[in-house]
């Protein structure tokens, strides 16, 4: 069996993909690998009116860049982005610090519970 007809959009940005989804509503599906969507379309269990692809291509591009670039190139590019967008850099640093503090706080309780008891039921600090 063949899938029903559909429109295909090759989005060049996340914004373009979101706009296509907003425009088509529930009849729009994102194609990101298609491991489960394509077989469902072939049996007509899924019949989207429009397929949007593009975000997965950007992830592939990022993976290719990381594989083919050396550390100096990546650091140079990151420095260039930081110089052009200082507020974005500050925000990213704050977000990373917040995430690290949450991780450390969450893991410290488990570490404390594993310490052996000393003396009369007290924990060593």
Q: How confident is the model at residue 116 (pLDDT cuts 50, 70, 90)?
A: low
pLDDT of 44 over the 70 cut: yes
* Alpha-carbon gap, residue 54 to 28, rounded angstroms: 14
Which architecture characterizes domain 7-58 according to CATH?
2-Layer Sandwich (3.30)
Residues 6+ apart with CB under 8 A from 54: 9, 10, 11, 12, 13, 16, 17
Q: How confident is the model at residue 120 (pLDDT cuts 50, 70, 90)?
A: low
Burial of 51 (0-12, 13-18, 19+ CB in 10 A): buried
Residues 6+ apart with CB under 8 A from 6: 41, 47, 48, 49, 50, 51
pLDDT of 122 over the 60 cut: no
Is-above-0.75 flag for pTM?
no
- Most confident stretch, 10-24, 29-43, 55-69, 78-92: 78-92
Lowest mean pLDDT among 25-29, 63-67, 100-104: 25-29
């Amino acid at each position: 069996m063949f899938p029903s007809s559909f429109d295909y959009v090759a989005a060049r940005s996340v914004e373009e993909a979101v706009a296509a989804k907003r425009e088509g509503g529930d009849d729009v599906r994102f194609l990101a690998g298609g491991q489960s969507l394509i077989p469902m379309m072939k049996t007509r269990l899924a019949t989207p009116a429009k397929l949007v692809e593009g975000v997965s291509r950007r992830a592939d591009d990022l993976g290719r860049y990381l594989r083919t670039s050396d550390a100096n190139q990546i650091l140079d590019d990151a420095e260039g982005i930081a110089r052009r967008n200082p507020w974005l850099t500050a925000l990213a640093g704050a977000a990373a610090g917040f995430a690290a503090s949450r991780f450390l706080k969450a893991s410290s309780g488990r570490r404390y519970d594993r310490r052996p008891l000393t003396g009369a039921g007290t924990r060593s600090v």
